[in-house]
């Protein structure tokens, strides 16, 4: 994609009501990728059809050391995944379980109303990933 086209796309996002923070996260692909040998990886598809796959590296003290994600969906899903992974790094699992959609939206500076469900997608993916990790840990305890 050419630089001009990228600038045009970012301007379209701005015109559609996306905050500067959302445009920055989406444009820079913050924490997009995968973690080799994660402690847990989980993909979840929301009602809108967008999918986030979350990868977590968790240490023995139950602190999230690293978090990355992949997505298939709109810029809002990408930005929500980015901000979520930033929020949860260095948090204990119990703290991460308490994160809400409102926390994500606040950190992002909001989203256009029609895209707010993407924060729910990111948070639901996180909660499901933590549950999967905890179930796995119980089996090996």
* Rg, C-alpha atoms of the chain: 15
pLDDT at 138: 87
pLDDT at 10: 82
Specify the 3-state DSSP secondary structure of 59: coil
What's the number of domains the chain is made of?
Answer: 1
**Mean pLDDT for each consecutive 10-residue tract of the chain (141 residues)?**
64 89 91 97 96 98 98 95 97 98 92 92 98 91 67
Tokens 């933590």 identify what position? 130
User: What is the model's pTM?
Assistant: 0.92
pLDDT at 1: 40
For the record, the structure tokens of 119 come out as: 């924060």
Q: CATH number for the domain including 97?
A: 3.90.1010.10
pLDDT at 4: 52
The CA-CA-CA angle for residues 42, 52, 95, to 5°, reads 65
Domain residues for the domain of 11 are 3-139
Is residue 25 within 8 Å of residue 8, measured between CB atoms? Answer: no
């Amino acid at each position: 994609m050419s630089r001009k086209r990228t600038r045009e796309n970012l301007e379209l996002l701005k015109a559609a009501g996306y905050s500067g923070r959302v445009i920055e996260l989406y444009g820079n692909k913050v924490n997009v990728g995968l973690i080799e040998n994660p402690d847990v990886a989980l993909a979840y598809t929301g009602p809108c059809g967008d999918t986030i796959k979350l990868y977590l590296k968790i240490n023995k003290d139950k602190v999230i050391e690293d978090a990355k994600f992949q997505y298939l969906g709109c810029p809002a899903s990408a930005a929500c995944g980015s901000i979520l992974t930033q929020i949860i790094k260095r948090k204990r699992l119990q703290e991460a379980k308490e994160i809400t959609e409102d926390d994500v939206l606040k950190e992002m500076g909001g989203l256009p109303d029609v895209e707010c469900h993407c924060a729910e997608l990111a948070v639901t993916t996180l909660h499901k990933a933590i549950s999967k990790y905890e179930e796995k840990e119980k089996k090996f305890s």
